[in-house]
Structure 1
Amino acid sequence: MKITPEKLDHVPTGLLIDGDWRPSAQGGTLPVIDPATEDVLTEVADATPADVPAVLDASVSAFDTWSATAPRVRSEILRRTYESLIERADDFALLITLEMGKPLAESRAEVTYAAEFVRWYAEEAVRLNGTYRIAPEGNARQLTVKQPVGPCLLITPWNFPLAMVTRKVAPALAAGCSAILKPAEQTPLTALLFGQVLADAGVPAGVVNIITTSDPAPVVDALLADQRVRKLSFTGSTEVGRVLLASAARNVQRTSMELGGNAPFLVFADADIDAAVDGAMLAKLRNGGESCVAANRFLVHESVSDEFAAALAKRMREQRLGAGTDAGTTVGPLIDAAARSKVDDLVREAVDRGARVLTGGQAPNRAGFFYEPTVLTGVGADARMLTTEIFGPVAPISTFTSEEEAITAANATEFGLVAYAYTRDLDRALRVADALRTGMVGLNRGVVSNAAAPFGGVKQSGLGREGGEAGIQEYLDTKYIAL
Structure 2
Amino acid sequence: MWRVPRQLCVHFARGSRLSGPWNRPAAFMSTLLINQAQYAWLKELGLREENEGVYNGSWGGRGEVITTYCPANNEPIARVRQASMADYEETVKKAREAWRVWAEVPAPKRGEIVRQIGDALRENIQKLGNLVSLEMGKILVEGVGEVQEYVDICDYAVGLSRMIGGPILPSETCKHVKISDQDPCFIKYVIVEVSWEMPICRWQNTFLFLASMVRSALSRKGAPTTSLISVAVTKIIAKVLEDNQLPGAICSLTCGGADIGTAMAKDERVNLLSFTGSTQVGKQVALMVQERFGNVSLETGQQEPMLAFEDADLSLVVPSALFAAVGTAGQRCTTARRLFLHESIHDEVVNRLKKAYAQIRVGNPWDSNVLYGPLHTKQAVSMFLGAVEQAEKEGGTVVYGGKVMDRPGNYVEPTIVTGLAHNASIAHTETFAPILYVFKFKNEEEVFAWNNEVKQGLSSSIFTKDLGRIFRWLGPKGSDCGIVNVNIPTSGAEIGGAFGM
Q: Do they superpose with TM above 0.5?
A: yes
Mind listing any 5+ residue stretches in structure 1 that lack a counterpart? Answer: 456-464, 466-470, 472-483
CA contact (8 A) 1:120 1:452 kept: no
2:69, 2:75 within 8 Å by CA — same for their partners in 1?
Answer: yes
Report deviation, 1:164: 4.8
Query: Quick one: distance in 2 between partners of 1:25 and 1:87?
Result: 31
1:11 paired to 2:46: yes
The residue type equivalent to 1:11 in the other structure is G
Show the 5 A alignment for 1:332-481.
332-381=373-422, 383-434=424-475, 435-446=478-489, 447=491, 449-451=493-495, 453-455=497-499, 465=500, 471=501
Using the aligned pairs only, state the percent identity: 26
Q: Is the 8 A contact 1:360 1:372 kept in 2?
A: yes
Which residue of the other structure, out of 21, 25, 28, is the alignment partner of 2:62? 25
The match for 1:158 is: 195
Equivalent position of 1:124 in the other structure: 160
Distance 1:293 1:43 in 2: 30
Give runs of aligned pairs for residues 279-294 of structure 1, distance below 5 A.
279-294=320-335
Equivalent pair of 1:17/1:54 in contact (CA under 8 Å) = no
From 186, 200, 204, the equivalent of 2:247 is 204
State the shift of 1:281 in Å.
Answer: 1.9
Indicate the larger mover: 287-296 or 159-168. Answer: 159-168
Shift of 1:448: 5.1
Cα 1:449/1:6, change in 2 over 3 Å: closer
Q: For residues 411 and 89 of structure 1, what CA distance do their matches in structure 2 show?
A: 39
Q: Distance in 2 between matches of 1:173 and 1:410?
A: 38
1:127-276 aligned within 5 A = 127-156=163-192, 157-161=194-198, 162-164=201-203, 166-202=205-241, 204-213=247-256, 215=257, 217-276=258-317
Output the TM-score relative to the length of structure 1.
Answer: 0.90
**How far does residue 305 in structure 1 lie from its aligned partner after superposition?**
0.5
Q: Distance in 1 between matches of 2:386 and 2:421?
A: 16
The one-letter code of the counterpart of 1:144 is S
What secondary structure does 1:415 align onto?
coil
Judging changes above 3 Å, is the alpha-carbon distance between structure 1 residues 369 and 406 closer, same or farther for their aligned structure 2 residues? same
Matched residue of 1:30: which SS?
Answer: strand
Q: Deviations over 1:434-474 (max 9, x none)?
A: 2111111111111355216222xxxxxxxxx3xxxxx2xxx
Query: What's the counterpart of residue 46 of structure 1?
Result: 82
**For the Cα contact (< 8 Å) 1:349–1:383, is it kept in 2?**
no
What is the CA distance between 1:167 and its match in structure 2? 3.2
Deviation at 1:225, TM superposition (A): 2.8
Asked if 2 retains the 8 angstrom alpha-carbon contact of 1:319 and 1:373, the reply is no
Q: Deviations over 1:127-159 (max 9, x none)?
A: 221121331343411111111111011112312
Counterpart amino acid of residue 173 in structure 1: S
The letter of the residue matching 2:410 is: F
Q: Give aligned pairs, total.
A: 452
Letter in 1 for 2:196: N
Q: Give the SS at the match of 1:64.
A: helix
- Supply the distance in 2 between the matched residues of 1:151 and 1:288 (Cα, whole angstroms): 35
The Cα shift of 1:330 comes to: 1.0
- Structure 1 residue 368, shift from structure 2 partner: 0.9
Residues 191, 276 of structure 2: 8 Å contact kept = yes
- Is the aligned partner of 1:307 residue 2:348? yes
Q: State the partner residue of 2:8.
A: none
Q: Are residues 95 and 448 of structure 1, via their aligned partners in 2, closer, same or farther at CA, if it must alter by over 3 Å? A: closer
Q: Give the TM-score, by structure 2 length.
A: 0.87
Gapped regions of structure 2 (runs ≥ 5): 1-32
Question: Structure 1 residue 382: deviation in Å?
Answer: 5.4
CA distance, structure 2, for counterparts of residue 364 and residue 191 of structure 1: 30
**Superposition deviation, residue 176 in structure 1:** 1.4
Contact 2:334 2:459 in 1 (8 A): yes
Distance 2:67 2:55 in 1: 20
Q: 2: distance between equivalents of 1:367 and 1:120?
A: 41
CA distance in 2, matches of 1:175, 1:311: 50
Separation in 2 of the partners of 1:320 and 1:269?
30
- How many angstroms apart in 2 are the aligned matches of 1:199 and 1:233? 21
Choose from 113, 116, 119 the match for 2:149: 113
Give 1:168 deviation, angstroms: 3.0
Q: Which amino acid in 2 is paired with 1:177?
A: S
Provide the rounded CA distance (Å) in 1 between the counterparts of 2:496 and 2:422: 37
**Residues of 1 paired with 2:204 and 2:128: CA distance?**
13
Separation in structure 2 between the aligned mates of residue 83 and residue 281 of structure 1, nearest angstrom = 34
CA contact 1:30–1:45 (8 Å) conserved in 2: yes
Q: Distance in 1 between matches of 2:308 and 2:377?
A: 32
Mapped to 1, the partners of 2:455 and 2:265 lie a distance apart of: 27
Deviations 1:63-99 (A, max 9, x none): 1111221111110111111112122111111100011
What secondary structure is seen at the aligned counterpart in 1 of 2:249? coil
Q: CA RMSD in A?
A: 1.7
Contact 2:53 2:227 in 1 (8 A): no
The Cα offsets for residues 271-323 of structure 1, whole Å up to 9 and x where unpaired, read as 00110112112221221110111111111111000111111111111112222
- The amino acid of 1:187's aligned partner reads T
Letter in 1 for 2:41: K
SS in 2 for 1:335: coil
- Looking at structure 2, the residues matched to 453 and 311 of structure 1 have their Cα atoms a distance apart, in angstroms, of 34
* Residues 180-231 of structure 1: CA deviation (Å, up to 9, x unaligned): 1100011111121111111222353211111112x2x211222333311101
User: Alignment partner of 2:183: what SS?
Assistant: strand
Query: What's the CA shift string for 1:322-350, capped at 9, x where partnerless?
Result: 22023422111111111111111111222
Q: Is contact 1:346-1:384 (8 Å) kept?
A: no
> What CA distance in whole angstroms lies between the structure 2 residues aligned with 1:165 and 1:194?
14
